[in-house]
Amino acid sequence: MYKILQEKMSGVGGEAIDFARSLVETPSLSLAEERVADLVERKMQALGYAKVFRDDYGNVVGLLAGMHSAPTVLLNSHMDTVSASEGASTAPAVQDEQRLYGLGAADCKGGLAAQVFAGALLKRCLLPLKGNFILAATTAEKNGLSIGLRGLLAHTLPELGLKPDFAILGEPTGLGLYYGHDGWMEVDVRLEGITPFAAKDALGLIMHNMAPAQSSQREMLRVLASDHTHMAHQNAVSLRVAKRIGEEEDSQTALTQVQARVPRAAEAAGSRVAVG
């Protein structure tokens, strides 16, 4: 299979680079991705994706149907970029023998171009897919909201009867393949028994003790936000704790970790804990 893909790729390498360059040359700040979306939509149609459409969130979605309903693989890259930094080159794209430079070249238009052509290669190989292939070029990631991806997963794909079993992001990793995580959960924690005068110091100690130790990102457990001001008269502190869900974990095992670690951190500050 890999050899077939290599042979097919040899004929489209230049086209893929040209497409990546056209993406980089086209401005696409968050919530203003329409021109890049047009390029992606037209390219997927030209490459023969079975279905290409724009959803209600501005995402461009391309589908290749498999012989079975599962597994379903989602390839995702965002189309938007940040604003150019002060003093940065005004050239929309610069290319040498090895690299393509420009706003969004690495994050994440180069990855998007590669993913668009990944689907095309699968189609050109004429080998039947066991499951479904989804390519989604999504909106509004760089503004910190991930509006496009959230809408895609919550509404667009479920309405098509599709649920990804695996997802591959086009984010820059130096061409390495890295494991992300299997989910993310946030838990509200109420710490009781902290006097108003000691609340701030106790909160600092708890957050320090909650800092992740020398562990992998999969096991990361950290405090996202806190609020002690409006609860001071109740001798309580409210925390929001985040946990990445790793392989072979579920929400209950992750909650067990929170319930085990937060009380230890709270006890050092002289408080009781309730996890909700």
pLDDT at residue 92 above 70?
Answer: yes
Please spell the DSSP secondary structure of 13-69, one letter per residue. Answer: HHHHHHHHHHHHTS--BTT--HHHHHHHHHHHHHHT-SEEEE-TTS-EEEEE--SSS
* pLDDT tens digit sequence for 261-273: 766 666 665 656 5
Return the minimum-mean-pLDDT range out of 62-66, 194-198, 229-233.
Answer: 229-233
**pTM score > 0.85 for this model?**
no
Pick the CATH number of 2-169 from 3.40.109.10, 3.30.70.250, 3.40.190.10, 3.40.630.10: 3.40.630.10
pLDDT at residue 79 above 80?
Answer: yes
Chain-centre distance for alpha carbon 263: 31
pLDDT band at 84 (very low <50, low <70, confident <90, very high): confident
> So what's the pLDDT on residue 160?
96
Average pLDDT, the chain: 81
* pLDDT tens digit sequence for 148-181: 999 999 999 999 999 999 999 999 988 888 877 6
Q: Which residue has the higher pLDDT, 160 or 194?
A: 160
Q: Which residue has the higher pLDDT, 152 or 220?
A: 152
Q: Which residue has the higher pLDDT, 106 or 87?
A: 106
What's the mean pLDDT in 38-47?
Answer: 97
Instruction: Examine residue 108 and say whether the peptide bond preceding it is cis (omega within 30 degrees of 0).
Output: yes
pLDDT at residue 119 above 90?
Answer: yes
**Residue 137 CB contacts under 8 Å (≥ 6 apart), including other chains:** 36, 37, 40, 59, 60, 61, 76, 77, 78, 79, 112, 116
> So what's the pLDDT on residue 190?
73
> So what's the pLDDT on residue 215?
46
pLDDT band at 219 (very low <50, low <70, confident <90, very high): very low
What's the mean pLDDT in 16-23?
Answer: 95
DSSP H helical ranges for the chain: 2-9, 13-24, 34-47, 110-124, 147-151, 157-159, 199-210, 251-268
Instruction: Break the chain into its structural domains and give their ranges.
Output: 2-169, 184-275
* CATH architecture classification, 184-275: 2-Layer Sandwich (3.30)
